[in-house]
Structure 1
Amino acid sequence: MMKRLLSIMGLAALVTASGAMAETVMVKGTGMGSSDSMQMPVSDGLVVVHNRTSYDGFETEDPESPFASLSGSCFGATLVEAGAVSGSGNCHYTDADGDQAVMAWTATGMSEDGRVSGDWSVVGGTGKWAEASGGGTFDAGGEGADYTNMVTGEVEMP
């Protein structure tokens, strides 16, 4: 009888643990905010950019997306050398529930109008973001309060 009871308890624990499956969240939206990045020309064809952006929120296709209520800042540095772009940084966001998310970004290109493109990924955080993983691409640019960051990707939310 005891053996059977332990087996049933083990099965119940397995079913309960299996119920907490990760959800894949499709990310597609535009971060709205302001940028006060500083360009530091070094020589012809060589510019270092100190990137600093503050986001008020993200306009997402799905208003229930965990990205919809994110706000916070991103920072890092970009190097423009003979037209090639490289650089990286991090973002520190807080959502409507007070959970914090840290994202990393890597610049990989720049359009003719100066918008920077690249890849982003979830590093971790608190609450729902503690075990989240995934990432995607971004296309960011604009001056001052006209700054936008268009993001796409997928995130696994446990």
Structure 2
Amino acid sequence: MRVAGDNLVHAIIKTIPVLLPSDKLVFVCIGTDRSTGDSLGPFVGTMLKEAGYCVIGTIDEPVHAENLTDRLNEIPPDKVIVAVDACLGKKSSIGSFQINKGPVKPGAGVGKILPPVGHYHIMGVVNAGGFMEYFVLQNTRLSLVISMAKQIASAIQTALPLNGIKEVAAAGE
């Protein structure tokens, strides 16, 4: 489901089971701090970790192509994984989000074959794709990435609060 930032809370509530205990959720925030556009996941991970969520993938300890499999092996099998990653899309979609059930395929936009991640995923369209994807990711505006990361982290904290369910239906409408 593709949504604008103002509908992000509602989309998360509609897609991810909000009645899951917060200790069952693990956020795997994919990307690297070496590429502006690909830093969306690590920024979200840092914000969620600071708020007390169980997170793998932060700015200081990113989850990327070289360590993805090892980091996924750290997650107990009974956990529900929500993957967060950046992606490229149409110019008209920049700044929008995709929230879906099922795994994300990290690296697909730049031709990498990596293991799928997550029971659910949230992706942010950080720039336009179609030509020279690595260059496009490197030259994505940091202000956009940080703004989108704040929106995702805030929406997760509203829709999936650590202290249990609180007025999430009202917040998502």
State the TM-score, normalizing by the size of structure 1. 0.30
Tell me which of the two structures has the higher relative contact order, counting C-alpha pairs closer than 8 angstroms and 6 or more residues apart.
Answer: 2
If each structure's helix is expressed as a fraction of its own residues, which one has the higher value?
2
TM-score normalised by L of structure 2: 0.29
More strand by share: 1
Higher Rg of the two aligned structures: 1
